[in-house]
Amino acid sequence: MFELLPAPPRLKPGTLRIIPLGGLGEIGRNMAVFEIDGKILIVDCGVLFPEEHQPGVDLILPDFNYLNDRLDDIVGVVLTHGHEDHIGGVPYLLKLRENIPLYGSELTLAFVDAKLKEHRLHSSQYVVREGDRKVIGNFDLEFIAVNHSIPDALAVVIRTSAGTVLHTGDFKMDQLPLDNRLTDLRAFARLGEEGLDLFMSDSTNADVPGFTPLEKDIGPVIDDVISRTPGKVIVASFSSHVHRVQQVINAAAAHNRKVALVGRSMLRNMNIAEDLGYLSAPDDIFIEFKNATSVPENEIVYMCTGSQGEPMAVLSKMAHGEHEITVGEGDTVILASSLIPGNENAVYRIIDQLTRLGANVVHKGNAKVHVSGHAAAGELLYCYNILKPKNAMPVHGEFRHLIANGKLAEQTGIPAERVQIVEDGWVVDLVNGKAEVVGAVECGLLYVDGKTVGKITEDDLKDRRILSQEGFISIFAVMDKDSGRIVVGPEIRAKAYAEDDHVFDDVKPLIVKALAEAAAEGVRDTYAMQQVIRRTIGTWVNRSHRRRPVIIPVVIEG
């Protein structure tokens, strides 16, 4: 299904071109580019968090390379909501052009602004609300309220001369939301009556039958768990999950416990949410972390990050005894989030380690402590039937989610050829009421590695994986430049390979013999001698130990 595509043709006047640069085939780094008549609009710019096979990587960004020569054509970035997988990449995009206008809800832009300050960036920001209409360049935008696991989420209608597109961002249809803010199905119905050319909908739960459970059902479960805990309670969640933090605050207050926010992002985001009125807390409920240890353990709840098993997050440090907060008998840890695909092993290791320490670990697998923020199949079917779009292009999800969403579209009567299941970098053109794939642009992964962005290659990651799994061997020798004879060495040192210094005794004679044979054949080049060493020890290590370490031979003339 996913074949290699040619470069797209030149964009014709009056045609709307759509290029996803992230978020398709993965849960994260969501970003979609819309272009018509020389002007570009971007919807979302998020990050993806690295998996175990990407050691040393801090974040993964959408691939900005397509935009590098088009930065001045960007008329704005619309941000659908304040989760990291939709806003985390904004500072890195603005480093390419700082004055790109940003459009989003009040809470979303407040979260973004805090990030920009950390990066010492400034931007033009425009708050939009549901019901607003705004013309930006060649795009007539309308914003629609949608319900999600964070307040103030918006879908965006993009009207152009080529047709009308609805991009949902992340959404669900909770009929009893905690903030009383429903997904505006009346606006969806109006849009359906008007005529919708392309529906780009959240696919994350498209393979889940029925409807997403109600958010309000979580509160009583959290309350019950806290009421039965004799020691401290630690709740791990996303740092932007305002609704979940609100439920924890309510339960803590009901049982006379203080709440300490732990982790820089958690503290920052909840302070913003409280200041803007999205989080309601009694005056005396919060206690600074530095003072929390003075509170009896049965009177404290710690709200922290790390629900996805991130190695540098607070919860992981607690599990491994590397944090001031210790975990033991009588304590309860609540993981109040879903598992993001790819994080399963890391999360279960954290659960196992916390259990080993004696804690009671409560998670979605054994209690109803989280519900998804994404529409399930039943909700998506409602949307397709209300909107009756001419074309569908599922977004936000791994391939199984995209395909499941596409099948739902077909079930509601959209012809299969009008359902576009695409990958990052594929180019879809909308013209005369029809959306079709016309090619692809180069689109890879852009890595943030410390202060470096984008310069890590897959070969670099491969070397890091080998270093972490197979070890490192260095061999040093001094060669007489006239005779080619080795006069010093070979000396062998290894890291993360073997502790026994004598493990390489068997291979040293083989190296000496191979170098002597090379010298007898007239080899005097140090690089050639290094390659002889690499081949000799590499073959021996593979045969004797079934390992493939990184091998660094050094030969100098003496």
Reported confidence tier of residue 496, pLDDT bands at 50, 70, 90 = low
**Which range (71-80, 308-317, 458-467, 481-490) has the least confidence?**
458-467
CA 490 to CA 511: how far, in whole Å? Answer: 8
Same domain, 72 and 197: yes
Does residue 2 belong to any structural domain of this protein?
no
Structure tokens at 381: 């079917």
Same domain, 254 and 354: yes
Does residue 464 belong to any structural domain of this protein?
no
Does residue 367 belong to any structural domain of this protein?
no
pLDDT > 90 in the chain, percent:
65
Amino acid 511: pLDDT: 84
Widest CA span of the chain, in angstroms? 88
Predicted confidence (pLDDT) at residue 548 exceeds the cutoff of 80 = no
**Which range (92-101, 277-286, 511-520) has the least confidence?**
511-520
Name residues whose C-beta falls within 8 Å of residue 97's C-beta, 6 or more positions apart in sequence: 71, 72, 74
Same domain, 311 and 419: no
Does residue 4 belong to any structural domain of this protein?
no
How many C-beta atoms surround the C-beta of residue 13 within 10 A? 9
Does residue 550 belong to any structural domain of this protein?
yes
Of 316, 338, 362, which residue sits at a domain end?
Answer: 362
Domain range for 334 is 215-362
Mean pLDDT of 231-252: 94
Mean pLDDT of 160-166: 97
Same domain, 274 and 290: yes
Same domain, 339 and 414: no
Mean pLDDT of 381-409: 97
Same domain, 272 and 337: yes
Report which residue type is found at 293. Answer: T
CA 219 to CA 237: how far, in whole Å? Answer: 14
Predicted confidence (pLDDT) at residue 452 exceeds the cutoff of 70 = no
Same domain, 96 and 62: yes
Predicted confidence (pLDDT) at residue 398 exceeds the cutoff of 70 = yes
pLDDT tens digits for range 112-154: 999 999 999 999 999 999 999 999 999 999 999 999 999 999 9
Predicted confidence (pLDDT) at residue 56 exceeds the cutoff of 70 = no
**Which range (19-28, 161-170, 294-303, 341-350) has the least confidence?**
341-350
**Whole-model pTM?**
0.82
Amino acid 101: pLDDT: 98
Does residue 5 belong to any structural domain of this protein?
no
Same domain, 67 and 155: yes
Does residue 458 belong to any structural domain of this protein?
no
Predicted confidence (pLDDT) at residue 489 exceeds the cutoff of 90 = no
Question: Degrees (nearest 5) of the Cα angle 420, 424, 430?
Answer: 40
Same domain, 188 and 63: yes
Same domain, 108 and 60: yes
Domain at 515, CATH number:
3.10.20.580
pLDDT tens digits for range 323-349: 889 999 999 999 988 777 667 778 888
pLDDT tens digits for range 172-199: 999 999 999 999 999 999 999 999 999 9
Yes or no: say if 88 and 265 are a contact pair by the CB < 8 Å rule: no
Same domain, 143 and 189: yes
Domain at 25, CATH number:
3.60.15.10
Reported confidence tier of residue 40, pLDDT bands at 50, 70, 90 = very high
Predicted confidence (pLDDT) at residue 436 exceeds the cutoff of 60 = yes
Question: Degrees (nearest 5) of the Cα angle 64, 69, 71?
Answer: 70
Does residue 107 belong to any structural domain of this protein?
yes
Predicted confidence (pLDDT) at residue 393 exceeds the cutoff of 50 = yes
Of 330, 362, 394, which residue sits at a domain end?
Answer: 362
What is the domain count for the chain?
3
Name residues whose C-beta falls within 8 Å of residue 427's C-beta, 6 or more positions apart in sequence: 5, 8, 17, 18, 19, 437, 438, 439, 440, 441
Mean pLDDT of 229-240: 93
Predicted confidence (pLDDT) at residue 390 exceeds the cutoff of 90 = yes
Predicted confidence (pLDDT) at residue 169 exceeds the cutoff of 80 = yes
Helix (H) or strand (E) holding 157, with range, is: strand 154-160
pLDDT > 70 in the chain, percent:
92
Mean pLDDT of 15-39: 96
Amino acid 525: pLDDT: 78
Amino acid 509: pLDDT: 84
Same domain, 329 and 389: no
Of 362, 396, 412, which residue sits at a domain end?
Answer: 362
Mean pLDDT of 390-400: 97
Average pLDDT, the chain: 89
Phi, psi (degrees; rounded to nearest 5) at 295 = -90, 135
Reported confidence tier of residue 485, pLDDT bands at 50, 70, 90 = confident
Give the burial class of 513: count Cβ atoms within 10 A of its Cβ; 0-12 exposed, 13-18 middle, 19 or more buried. Answer: exposed
Predicted confidence (pLDDT) at residue 418 exceeds the cutoff of 90 = yes
Predicted confidence (pLDDT) at residue 410 exceeds the cutoff of 60 = yes
